[in-house]
Homo-oligomer: A and B are copies of this chain.
Amino acid sequence: MLSTGSTAQSNFAAVAMMKPQLETLDELFAAVPRETLDIGAGLFWEGDRAQHIFEVSEGVLRIFKIIGDGRRVITGFLYAGDMVGLTLRDVYLYSAEAVTPVKVRRLTKKAFQDAIEHSPELRPRLFALMCDEMAAAQDQMVLLSRKSAEERVCSFLMLTARRMQGDRQVGRTVQLPMSRQDMADYLGLTIETVSRTITKLIARGVIVPNGRHAFDIGKPGKLLALCGDGDSYEDIGERGAKTRQAVWPH
């Protein structure tokens, strides 16, 4: 499938000739022209033949699955720098749509695989990326499995705030480019519950509205405590001794 031989034709060759030692996955896509997606436009659909790998270079994408009777589950939001469509299967397992105007670059799966296969630099980076994705997926399972509506919304605000850092996070502002419906479908709630929860957080001064799709974080410590992750940091909390089980003697 992926030969190590010196038969490095394919469009990867062009890239390799210009700069034989790619060091980041970004650079892999650098030579490709950017494509534009309007708000709401689809990049690909669940079930489509998976022929390309994409890199988001601007904007926000939502990744989702739909089950039988129309229920939608958003499994993630992707920001600039994230990669989409990473799979070995022959079809995509989810759909991708633009939440905001989006710019992406695409590589054929084959080109991407060749590049990875030929670059000992890139492989650990790809591996790390997939590990991060798994970690995020597990955190999301925790959220969906055991967190209350308030904890879910607070976790989402914190996550998004963290993501924006270095990007455009001015002070303590969180940008939420997606609709309430998107948030609901990501958090496993209804649009009404999301709305009500946000209203309550505002009333308590935890967050301060700044337009409908941005909030200033009024009480960062409180917000963090309300995430329900309750590990360290919880200066505000009162919950007593935590029974951290003894380590297994083996």
Q: Which residues of A contact B (CB under 8 A)?
A: 1-4, 41-42, 45, 48, 65-73, 75, 86-89, 93-95, 117, 120, 123-124, 127-128, 130-131, 133-135, 137-138, 140-142, 144-146, 185, 188, 228-231, 234, 239, 242-250
Contact = CB atoms under 8 A, between A and B. Distances in A.
B87 A131 contact: yes
A141 B142 contact: no
A127 B88 contact: yes
Copies in the complex: 2
B230 A69 contact: yes
A41 B86 CA distance: 35
Contacts of A230: 67-69
A202 B9 CA distance: 60
B248 A145 contact: no
A245 B89 CA distance: 23
Contacts of A245: 45, 69-70
A186 to B, nearest CB: 8
Contact of A134 (B42, B67, B134): B134
B123 A66 contact: no
A70 B128 CA distance: 29
A235 to B, nearest CB: 12
Nearest to A250: B45
Q: Which of A3, A234, A249 has the most CB of B within 10 A?
A: A249
A128 B70 CA distance: 29
A65 to B, nearest CB: 6
A18 to B, nearest CB: 19
B239 A69 contact: yes
5 contacts: A2-B120, A67-B231, A70-B246, A86-B131, A93-B138
A124 B2 contact: yes
B137 A242 contact: no
B142 A145 contact: no
Contacts of A94: 138
Given A117-B123, A123-B123, A244-B68, A250 B41 contact: yes
B248 A123 contact: no
A17 B67 CA distance: 50
Contacts of A242: 68-69
Nearest to A89: B131
A70 to B, nearest CB: 4
B135 A134 contact: no
